[in-house]
């Protein structure tokens, strides 16, 4: 679109778009922040961020919107499971997305899915301005994530296919969206870890069945593009970190834990119920939601445990937070990782332990939900996926934190 034509149309488009956007308030949508998980013990971590598809228009839960369908489609392909974190807003743009991401630990993700550009198309943002701002945003993200992480930039879908935008003004916005999409594709082609991802057209009806079908189709299209890069990311990410990197990551983890303000706080029923359920389901003598502090393991919630804290050097949970999956010890006496711990050689004489890391709202592994017993177990007697689901219940409770919302 020529600059003169844009200058003439922009004020009219802005007025029309504002009147149309006001109508979006009546359309249901999930909360701006959330997490959807699908079954699996070594889940891929995905961040879905932006406006448009990330918002989940027309649904009351992210589970039935783009995030939930993406998590399940990925899990079906990889058999690893998937955790999709959502950070969305109808007003998120390429200008303000960086500010929204400040509360998130980006290095935790295997992939980031960006859905931006709808508002820019409606505002007739020029191709030059879009190119400058998008490049800056992508370079910022790529500099904040591991070299194995990929950024998937989703194309702007048809504006006019949204019923409230179906007019000649919507057609103008669609024309600008096509121009911005062309710029996006060209920029991603120059950035090795940025992937341009156009999706098929929206059906453009008010029927909720069509909307759900759209979300499912888009999720599957994304998965087709994400599958190989995610596998490559896993292989690259498995390489050992340097000791200096580990120290830096631990400092970041501790800063996030301190900011959460959970250390040395009183017991809470919302966590106690989950810990009691874990102990009951696994039939163990003890269970805990434990936080790993600088040199100690402190129990936020505990069942049949006398001490409120122990030294970190003897902590099983400190090992559990080193990876994203479950940490299971069937017989501590013969497991070199923990056999010398005082928790094994002295009271409570742990033989069996199963723990799953618990993450803060920003993605740091701050502790673990664990169950343990003085009797060893066989591998067939342990269901680590159930522990994962219970750990995610704790994570959901941690999100009910006004400092994050």
Q: What is the pLDDT of residues 8-34, one digit of tens each?
A: 787 888 888 888 877 777 788 999 888
25 and 166 part of one domain: yes
Q: What is the pLDDT of residues 308-351, one digit of tens each?
A: 999 999 999 999 999 888 999 999 999 999 999 999 999 999 99
211 and 321 part of one domain: no
Model pLDDT, residue 238 = 53
- Chosen domain end from 172, 203, 237: 237
Model pLDDT, residue 361 = 86
**Sheet with strand 365-373: strands edge to edge:** 309-311, 296-303, 286-292, 365-373, 352-359, 327-329
Q: What is the pLDDT of residues 31-64, one digit of tens each?
A: 988 889 888 878 899 999 999 899 999 899 999 9
Q: Residue 241: pLDDT above 70?
A: no
Of 124, 174, 131, the closest CA to residue 8 belongs to 124
Q: What is the pLDDT of residues 351-388, one digit of tens each?
A: 999 999 999 988 889 999 999 999 999 998 888 889 99
Residue 363 covered by a domain: yes
Residue 112 covered by a domain: yes
Of the chain, the end-to-end C-alpha distance in Å amounts to 39
78 and 169 part of one domain: yes
Of 77, 402, 392, 387, the closest CA to residue 221 belongs to 77
229 and 290 part of one domain: no
263 and 224 part of one domain: no
Residue 97 covered by a domain: yes
223 and 296 part of one domain: no
Model pLDDT, residue 402 = 39
**What is the DSSP track for 273-291?**
HHHHHHHHHHT-SEEEEEE
Q: Report d(CA 240, CA 305) in Å as an integer.
A: 35
* Helix-helix angle 66-78:208-237, to 10 degrees: 50
* Beta carbons of 365 and 358 less than 8 angstroms apart: yes
217 and 115 part of one domain: yes
* Beta carbons of 280 and 293 less than 8 angstroms apart: no
**27 φ/ψ sector (left φ>0, alpha ψ -120 to 50, else beta):** beta
- Chosen domain end from 183, 204, 237: 237
CATH number at residue 143: 3.40.50.1110
222 and 355 part of one domain: no
- Chosen domain end from 207, 237, 267: 237
- At 246, the pLDDT band (50, 70, 90 cuts) reads confident
Model pLDDT, residue 404 = 38
314 and 216 part of one domain: no
82 and 198 part of one domain: yes
Domains: count for the chain: 2
For the entire predicted model, the pTM comes to 0.82
Residue 250 covered by a domain: no
Residue 244 covered by a domain: no
CA 334, distance to chain mean position in Å, is 36
298 and 185 part of one domain: no
Residue 361 covered by a domain: yes
Q: Report d(CA 263, CA 251) in Å as an integer.
A: 16
CATH number at residue 381: 3.30.450.40
263 and 204 part of one domain: no
- Going through 72-191 in order, the beta strands assigned E by DSSP cover 82-88, 111-115, 150-154
Range of the domain at 328: 258-398
């Amino acid at each position: 679109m020529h600059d003169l034509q844009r200058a003439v149309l922009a004020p009219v488009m802005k007025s029309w778009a504002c009147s149309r956007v006001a109508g979006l308030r009546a359309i249901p949508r999930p909360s701006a922040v959330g997490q959807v998980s699908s079954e699996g013990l070594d889940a891929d971590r995905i961040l879905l961020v932006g406006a448009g598809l990330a918002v989940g228009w027309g649904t009351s839960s992210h589970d039935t919107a783009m995030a939930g369908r993406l998590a399940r489609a990925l899990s079906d392909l990889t058999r690893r499971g998937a955790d999709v974190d959502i950070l969305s807003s109808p007003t998120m743009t390429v200008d303000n997305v960086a500010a929204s991401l400040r509360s998130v630990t980006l290095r935790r993700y295997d992939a980031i899915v960006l859905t931006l550009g709808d508002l820019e198309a409606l505002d007739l943002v020029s191709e030059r301005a879009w190119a400058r701002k998008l490049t800056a945003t992508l370079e910022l993200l790529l500099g904040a994530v591991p070299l194995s992480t990929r950024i998937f930039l989703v194309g702007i879908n048809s504006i006019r296919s949204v019923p409230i935008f179906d007019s000649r003004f919507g057609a103008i916005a669609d024309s600008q969206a096509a121009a911005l999409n062309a710029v996006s594709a060209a920029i991603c082609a120059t950035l090795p870890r940025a992937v341009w991802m156009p999706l098929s057209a929206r059906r453009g009806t008010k029927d909720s069945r069509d909307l759900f079908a759209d979300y499912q189709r888009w999720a599957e299209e994304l998965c087709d593009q994400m599958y190989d890069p995610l596998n490559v990311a896993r292989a690259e990410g498995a390489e050992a970190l340097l000791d200096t990197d580990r120290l830096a990551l631990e400092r970041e983890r501790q800063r996030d834990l301190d900011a959460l303000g959970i250390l040395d706080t009183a017991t809470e029923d919302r966590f106690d119920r989950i810990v009691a359920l874990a102990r009951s389901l696994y039939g163990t003598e003890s269970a805990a939601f434990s936080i790993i502090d600088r040199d100690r393991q402190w129990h936020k919630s505990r069942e049949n445990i006398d001490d409120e804290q122990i030294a970190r050097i003897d902590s099983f949970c400190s090992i559990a937070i080193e990876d994203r999956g479950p940490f299971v010890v069937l017989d501590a006496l013969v497991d070199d990782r923990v056999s010398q711990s005082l928790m094994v050689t002295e009271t409570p004489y742990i033989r069996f332990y199963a723990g799953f890391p618990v993450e803060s709202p920003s993605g740091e592994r701050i502790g673990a939900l664990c169950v343990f017993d003085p009797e060893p177990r066989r591998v067939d007697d342990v269901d680590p996926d159930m522990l994962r689901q219970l750990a995610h219940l704790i994570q959901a409770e941690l999100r009910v934190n006004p400092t994050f919302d």
